[in-house]
């Protein structure tokens, strides 16, 4: 028999015996009854000291007044005949008879009901604590789920779109299969591999594929499973996890959401000595302490590497960081092939076109896209998924569900149509911008209307000229409202926010202002509870701040003027597009080209009579903080 089970059984026996003893002590003499002789009872009745008597068979109990004047409870045994009754009547003693005909079982329940309830509660508690195979004393046991090599069927064939990350981790598979190949040359495999990437990029799937390819046990646990309200439990679970891993080595330990337990130490209120930090300290020791974890490779995933403790990232612990980025167009096509492997598709479905029209999508987004397409096809009783189903699902994922039941006044609907027409028209008439994919005035999500642009190819670096044109497009909706209705609405709130953000980043972060110069002025604001700066301060003078504000305002004002002038010059196209939107509610790129008389083969998508040269500026800069892959102009946000 398992020694741990015997130890737990002994502990529970001690607890049970203690509770039984406590119950017996508490249940005995609840009112401090004193046993007296029958003759003394008769004497006290004669002297008038007895106040009250209860007679149950030959058991007589009651109360009498003692010498000190205090009331005392007594109990005695003797005959309760006519003489006793006559005596108590004469002495005016209150007496009562209690029936003795109740069953023994009923009496047993009356006397032992509290104890029976206590035993049932203990049994329930024990079973609850043993649920899932964990004993009652297993607070410090690891909650990691072990996936054996027989149960883990994931391989590298199930992972697509992250070829570079797969190449980096293939070394781990080779080491687990043939470690002597590396150790004979004096090399060692990295003890820890940290997978870094945005949510949904496939970090957990990649870790499972590594274990499946290597054919070794795979322990998976979340970072939050270590930390409990009881001090020391997290550290105990870390020790138990590595103890289990050593018994099953070689193996892989995968910690998902590492930032839940691996945040920078010395942070927060109340000092640094808390449960989470003790857990982190134990993890650091297990990974690279005096006892090396031979044959154990620790993998972890996080999308917040900036908050991790530096001790975790040093060589000897997580000494290799593998970036799992969002897939490019080729990667998206490969991911779609994986997710549609067992999905029936119509012949008109071209996954390459779908991949090109979904820039910025992660692996999870693409999986959701396929799933939404299947749900749409099933709802309409299609035997196979067609391109319309995928297009519907893509719009739903990107823009949100349609809200056709929303009641909008005719005037608001007309304002929305001209607003979206302004966005779309400036995007089409401005060379070098992303093609307009769709324009709609059907409310979706929080927007009353939407203009969607999709780039022809993925962008990783954006020029000053491209950013200025993006600001023009964002301000075009508000400009159209001013031209047609001579009024300004709150619908442009989101557009103004995004345009101002781009302009300020151009001036303060990307050095795209001639007046301010190539200087970074943006403040680096660290999170408060990370043991770093509690607050941030300006690193430049007040005069520079005023100059920055003036430069941002000048960029916004000039962009608004350009948008107004362009729309006034093409006001006929503005009216035509707005009327078409009011009629059809949604206009795609093909219908838009036909309306504006644009040659579809023209890369610039500019009408022949208004075609201008695309003068590409030379200032290029990475577009941090703003999604460079999708430009979607949301408008008319409801408050």
Active site (catalytic) residues: 420
Closest alpha carbon to 309 in 257, 269, 261 = 261
Q: What angle do CA 493, 497, 501 make, to 5 degrees?
A: 170
Q: How far apart are CA 40 and CA 26, in angstroms?
A: 28
Contacts of 254 (CB under 8 A, 6+ apart): 204, 207, 208, 211, 218, 219, 220, 221, 299, 300, 301
Listed in sequence order, the residues at least 6 apart from 214 whose beta carbon sits closer than 8 Å to its beta carbon are 172, 173, 176, 177, 250, 252
Half-sphere exposure of 47 (CA within 13 A, CB side): 11
> What 3-state class would DSSP assign to 254?
strand
Q: Tell me the torsion sign for CA atoms 84, 86, 89, 90.
A: negative
Handedness of CA 416, 418, 423, 427 (dihedral sign): positive
276-308 burial: b if 16+ Cβ within 10 Å, else e: bbbbbbbbbebbbeeeebebbbbbbbbbebebb
Q: List the structure tokens of 562.
A: 């350009």
Hunting for tokens 């990029």 — which residue is that? 201
Rg of the chain over all Cα atoms, to the nearest angstrom: 39
Measured CA to CA, the distance from residue 560 to residue 477 in angstroms comes to 10
What is the four-CA torsion angle of 305, 311, 314, 317, rounded to 10 degrees?
A: -90
Contact status, residue 199 vs residue 243, Cβ threshold 8 Å: no
Angle at 558 between CA 552 and CA 560, to 5 degrees: 105
Find the DSSP H helices in 343-463.
351-356, 363-379, 387-399, 410-429
- Rounded to whole angstroms, the Cα distance separating 590 from 588 reads 6
**Which of 283, 239, 274, 228 lies closest to 142 in space, CA to CA?**
239
Give the distance between the most distant pair of CA atoms in the chain: 131
What does the DSSP 8-state code read for residue 469? H
């Amino acid at each position: 028999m398992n020694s741990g089970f015997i130890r737990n059984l002994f502990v529970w026996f001690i607890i049970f015996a203690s509770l039984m003893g406590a119950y017996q002590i508490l249940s005995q003499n609840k009112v401090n009854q004193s046993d007296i002789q029958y003759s003394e009872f008769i004497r006290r009745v004669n002297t008038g000291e007895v106040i009250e008597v209860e007679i149950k068979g030959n058991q007589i109990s009651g109360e009498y007044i003692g010498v000190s004047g205090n009331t005392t409870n007594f109990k005695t045994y003797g005959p309760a005949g006519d003489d006793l009754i006559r005596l108590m009547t004469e002495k005016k003693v209150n007496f009562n008879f209690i029936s003795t005909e109740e069953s023994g079982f009923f009496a047993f329940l009356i006397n032992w009901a509290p104890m029976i309830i206590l035993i049932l509660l203990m049994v329930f508690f024990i079973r609850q604590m043993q649920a899932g195979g964990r004993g009652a004393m297993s607070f410090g046991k690891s909650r990691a789920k072990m996936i054996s090599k027989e149960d883990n069927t994931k391989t590298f064939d199930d992972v697509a779109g992250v070829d570079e990350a797969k190449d980096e981790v293939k070394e781990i598979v080779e080491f687990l299969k043939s470690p002597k190949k590396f150790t004979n040359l004096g090399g060692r495999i990295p003890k820890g591999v940290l997978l870094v990437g945005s949510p949904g990029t496939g970090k957990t799937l990649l870790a499972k594929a590594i274990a499946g390819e290597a054919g070794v046990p795979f322990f998976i646990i979340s970072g939050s499973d270590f930390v409990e309200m009881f001090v020391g439990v997290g550290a105990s679970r870390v020790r138990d996890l590595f103890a289990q891993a050593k018994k099953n080595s070689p193996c892989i330990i995968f910690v998902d959401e590492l930032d839940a337990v691996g945040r920078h130490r010395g942070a927060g209120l109340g000092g640094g000595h808390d449960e989470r930090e003790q857990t982190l300290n134990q993890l650091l020791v297990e990974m690279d302490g005096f006892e090396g974890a031979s044959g154990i490779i620790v993998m972890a995933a996080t999308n917040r590497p900036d908050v991790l403790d530096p001790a975790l990232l040093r060589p000897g612990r997580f000494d290799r960081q593998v970036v799992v980025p969002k897939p490019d167009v080729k990667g998206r096509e490969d991911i779609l092939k994986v997710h549609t492997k067992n999905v029936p598709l119509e012949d008109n479905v071209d996954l390459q076109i779908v991949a090109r029209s979904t820039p910025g999508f992660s692996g999870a987004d693409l999986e959701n896209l396929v799933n939404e397409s299947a749900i749409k096809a099933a709802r309409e009783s299609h035997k196979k998924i067609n391109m319309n189903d995928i297009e519907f699902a893509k719009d739903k994922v990107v823009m949100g569900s349609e809200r056709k039941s929303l009641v909008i006044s005719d005037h608001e609907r007309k304002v929305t149509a001209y607003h979206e027409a302004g966005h779309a028209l400036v995007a089409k008439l401005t060379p070098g911008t992303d093609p307009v994919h769709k324009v709609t005035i059907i409310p979706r999500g929080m927007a009353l209307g939407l203009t969607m642009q999709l780039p022809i190819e993925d962008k990783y670096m954006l020029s000053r000229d491209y950013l200025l044109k993006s600001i023009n497009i964002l301000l075009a909706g508000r400009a159209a409202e001013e031209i047609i209705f001579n009024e300004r609405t709150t619908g442009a709130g989101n557009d103004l926010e995004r345009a101002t953000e781009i302009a300020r980043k151009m001036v303060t972060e990307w050095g795209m202002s001639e007046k301010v110069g190539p200087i970074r002025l943006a403040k680096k604001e660290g999170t408060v509870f990370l043991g770093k700066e509690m607050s941030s301060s300006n690193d430049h003078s007040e005069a520079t701040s005023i100059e920055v504000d003036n430069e941002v305002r000048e960029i916004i004002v000039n962009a608004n003027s350009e948008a107004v002038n362009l729309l006034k010059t093409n006001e006929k196209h503005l009216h035509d597009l707005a009327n078409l939107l009011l009629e059809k509610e949604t206009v795609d790129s093909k219908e838009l080209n036909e309306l504006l008389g644009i040659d579809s083969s023209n890369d610039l998508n500019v009408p022949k009579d208004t075609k201008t040269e695309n003068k590409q500026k030379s200032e290029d800069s990475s577009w941090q903080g703003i999604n460079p892959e999708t430009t979607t102009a949301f408008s008319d946000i409801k408050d």
